[in-house]
Amino acid sequence: MLSQASIEKFDFLRKLALQMGAEDAKVIPADKVIVEDRVVLKCKVGCVNYGKTLMCPPFTPTPAEFRRIVSEYGYAMFMKFKSHAEADEEVAKHLSKAENDPDFPPEMKEKVRAFWAAWKNDKQKILDTIIALEKAAMSEGYNLAVGLVSGACQLCEKCNLETKICAHPAKARYSEDAVGVNVKKTAKNAGISVTFPFEKTPETFALLLID
């Protein structure tokens, strides 16, 4: 059982995460990060990005492998971010199909495009934040700190799947879902609320493993 004092030594990271835009951030024992095989099953049967980037399955560590990796860490910081992308109830219903439907009303299609553009911009800022937090942890001696983000990698228009060599190894990070992290259960363990389905503006999450 880790003491509260041992967790509080990472308060500098929690405060930095909040300063950099996180809506909430909590440091928890690493064994409170919940990794499940069924999360990756949802990637395989329900995600259009499956197999399209090196940061997503089947190119990522399996849940079994990631569970072993997490067991080698003592702590994790779980973070929630609020996106600036907005979608009312009507727009939200069409986020996954407006782009590919030629008969879709142009006005609604434009709203959907605006949502995804804002979402992509926010995801890039969050990725930059996670990398900065990694560096902050490493500067204090936690050289194995590594971050994960939510959703598919968006650094390139097309991933180097043929060579399997990432074009941006210093910036690309695995998706939490891709390695089996149950975000909802982990958020609960961290005492962080999750609103799903989202109301107007979506939430997104990130994880920093520290030791």
* Structure-token match 């709203």, residue found: 111
pLDDT at 15: 97
Q: How far is residue 106's CA from residue 203's CA, in Å, rounded to a whole number?
A: 27
- Per-residue confidence in pLDDT tens, the chain, 211 aa: 667 778 889 999 999 999 999 999 999 999 999 999 999 999 999 788 899 999 999 999 999 999 999 999 999 999 999 988 887 776 766 666 655 566 667 777 788 888 888 889 999 999 999 999 999 999 999 999 999 999 899 999 999 999 999 999 999 999 999 999 999 999 999 999 998 878 788 899 999 999 8
pLDDT at 99: 56
pTM of the model: 0.89
Q: How far is residue 36's CA from residue 55's CA, in Å, rounded to a whole number?
A: 18
pLDDT at 101: 60
pLDDT at 107: 76
Residue among 113, 110, 211, 196 nearest 150 (CA): 196
Q: How far is residue 23's CA from residue 17's CA, in Å, rounded to a whole number?
A: 9
Q: How far is residue 102's CA from residue 124's CA, in Å, rounded to a whole number?
A: 29
Residue among 59, 40, 49, 32 nearest 180 (CA): 40
170: three-class secondary structure by DSSP: coil
